[in-house]
């Protein structure tokens, strides 16, 4: 199981959104008009023009105190991507695997009908894919496979000033993530890595994943289709890796 992986250590994230801006710049995605919604998170969600979004959650566990939980959300580049399984059936060629990095990529030249897109999005355990209604293509993080192919890190990793965003060979990244988890758990007993055996984008969170975002972990609130996809494609892999 070669290929690349990310380690996203949310305990180091300051919510500066450098990664979000760098992603827009590299992918030449247009800016999104934003409005004050009572949150520093902007825009409100991922879109065909926003592949990376720093989600902000305000925590008020301790009376009189507030804390931020930052979650730089993006495609997890699943080892066995449910989006591809569904796309192969309903929109052949729309989702491909980069042989070098194992990045999961949507082909912008393949048009996907709204009905097919609905199914593909529902198969994603993390609610990532978006549809460009103007072009008919799908859109999401590409792992910057074009940069990586030239020996450069993904734009979000290059821009992150805090060490939150890390990228490299999968085995090295898994070790890095486990080592950091062991350190963080000494202070934060609920800290965990989110399904590291099933994805190439491994998040470390210091509290329950659902406190960060409803789709932060596949175990969060998921629809019937997502549950089916998880049972069929992701859980068997996790069991095989553990056994």
Consecutive H or E run containing 204: strand 201-205
Min dist CB 34 to ligand SF4, Å, is: 16
CB-based burial label for 228 (10 Å; 0-12, 13-18, 19+): middle
Min dist CB 68 to ligand SF4, Å, is: 11
Which of 205, 183, 180, 179 shows the shortest CA–CA distance to 192?
205
Contact residues toward ligand SF4 (CB under 6 A) are 13-19, 54, 70, 72, 75-78, 81-83, 104, 124, 126, 128-129, 140, 159-160, 162, 164-165
Residue 164 or 220: the one with the smaller Cβ distance to ligand SF4 is: 164
Min dist CB 93 to ligand SF4, Å, is: 15
Residue 19 or 205: the one with the smaller Cβ distance to ligand SF4 is: 19
Min dist CB 117 to ligand SF4, Å, is: 12
Give the tokens for residue 74: 């993006």
Residue 63 or 99: the one with the smaller Cβ distance to ligand SF4 is: 99
Q: Is 151 left (phi over 0), alpha (psi -120 to 50) or beta?
A: left
DSSP 180: H
In order of 19, 85, 98, 151, 182, the CA distances from 164 in angstroms are: 10, 31, 25, 20, 16
Residue 76 or 206: the one with the smaller Cβ distance to ligand SF4 is: 76
Q: Say how far apart CA 142 and CA 217 lie, in whole Å.
A: 20
163 within 8 A of 9, measured Cβ to Cβ = yes
Residue 19 or 204: the one with the smaller Cβ distance to ligand SF4 is: 19
Min dist CB 63 to ligand SF4, Å, is: 28
């Amino acid at each position: 199981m070669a290929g690349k992986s990310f380690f996203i250590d949310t305990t180091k994230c300051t919510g500066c959104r450098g990664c979000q801006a760098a992603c827009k710049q590299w992918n030449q995605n247009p800016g999104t008009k934003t409005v004050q919604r009572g949150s520093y998170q902007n825009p409100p969600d991922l879109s065909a023009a926003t592949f990376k979004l720093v989600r902000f959650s305000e925590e008020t566990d301790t009376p009189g105190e507030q804390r931020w939980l930052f979650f730089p959300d993006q495609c997890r580049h699943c080892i066995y991507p449910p989006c591809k399984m569904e796309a192969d059936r309903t929109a052949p060629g729309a989702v491909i695997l980069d042989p070098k990095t194992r990045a999961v990529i949507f082909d912008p030249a393949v048009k996907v009908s709204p009905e097919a897109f609905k199914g593909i999005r529902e198969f994603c355990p993390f609610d990532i894919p978006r549809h460009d209604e103007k072009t008919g293509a799908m859109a999401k993080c590409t792992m910057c496979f074009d940069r990586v192919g030239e020996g450069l890190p993904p734009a979000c990793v290059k821009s992150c000033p805090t060490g939150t965003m890390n990228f490299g060979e999968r085995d090295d990244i898994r070790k890095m993530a486990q080592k950091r988890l062991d350190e963080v758990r000494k202070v934060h007993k609920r800290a965990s890595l989110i399904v590291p055996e099933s994805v190439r984008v491994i998040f470390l969170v210091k509290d329950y994943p659902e406190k960060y975002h409803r789709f932060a972990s596949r175990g969060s609130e998921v629809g019937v289709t997502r549950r089916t996809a998880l049972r069929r494609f992701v859980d068997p892999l996790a069991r095989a890796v553990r056994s």
